[in-house]
Amino acid sequence: MLEVRNLMVFFENALAINDLSLEVREGELVGMIGSNSAGKTTLMNSLSGLIIDMRIKETRRGGERINLYGKIIYNGEDITAIKPSDRVKKGIVLCRERHPVFPESDVLENLKIAGYLRKRNEIKDSIEYVFDLFPALSKLKTRKAGFMSGGEQQMLAIGMALVVRPKLLLLDEPLLGLSPIMQQAVMEAVIHLKENSGITVLLSEQFARPVLPVIDRGYVMENGMLALKGTGEELMNNPEIKSAYFGI
Among 83, 54, 65, 91, CA closest to 10: 65
Task: Please count the structural domains in the chain.
Answer: 1
**Average pLDDT of the residues in 196-218:** 89
The pTM of the full predicted model, rounded to 2 decimals, is: 0.88
pLDDT at 248: 54
- The CA distance from 49 to 69, in Å, is 13
Residues 6+ apart with CB under 8 A from 184: 210
* Residue-wise DSSP of the chain: -EEEEEEEEEETTEEEEEEEEEEE-TT-EEEEEE-TTSSHHHHHHHHHTHHHHHHHHHHHTT---EEEEEEEEETTEE-TT--HHHHHHTTEEEE-SS----TTSBHHHHHHHHTTTS-HHHHHHHHHHHHHH-HHHHTTTTSBGGGS-HHHHHHHHHHHHHHT--SEEEEESTTTT--HHHHHHHHHHHHHHHHHT--EEEEEES--TTTTTT-SEEEEEETTEEEEEEEHHHHHT-HHHIIIII--
Q: What percent of the chain has pLDDT over 90?
A: 36
Residue 217 lies in a domain: yes
Residue 12 lies in a domain: no
pLDDT at 57: 87
Residue 8 lies in a domain: no
Which residues sit opposite 202 in a β-bridge?
A: 30, 170
Residue 78 lies in a domain: no
Read off the pLDDT of residues 158-197 as tens digits, 9 standing for 90 and up.
888 888 888 999 999 988 888 888 888 888 888 888 888 8
Residue 222 lies in a domain: yes
Residue 17 lies in a domain: no
- The CA distance from 162 to 145, in Å, is 17
Domain that holds residue 38: 25-49+83-246
- Higher confidence at residue 116 or residue 57? 57
Read off the pLDDT of residues 85-101 as tens digits, 9 standing for 90 and up.
899 989 999 988 766 78
Q: Residue 199 is part of a domain; what is its CATH number?
A: 3.40.50.300
- The CA distance from 168 to 92, in Å, is 5
pLDDT at 175: 87
Residue 99 lies in a domain: yes
Q: Decide if pLDDT at 220 tops 60.
A: yes
Residue 161 lies in a domain: yes
Poorest-pLDDT segment among 70-84, 108-122, 151-165: 108-122
**What confidence tier does 32 reach under pLDDT thresholds 50, 70, 90?**
very high
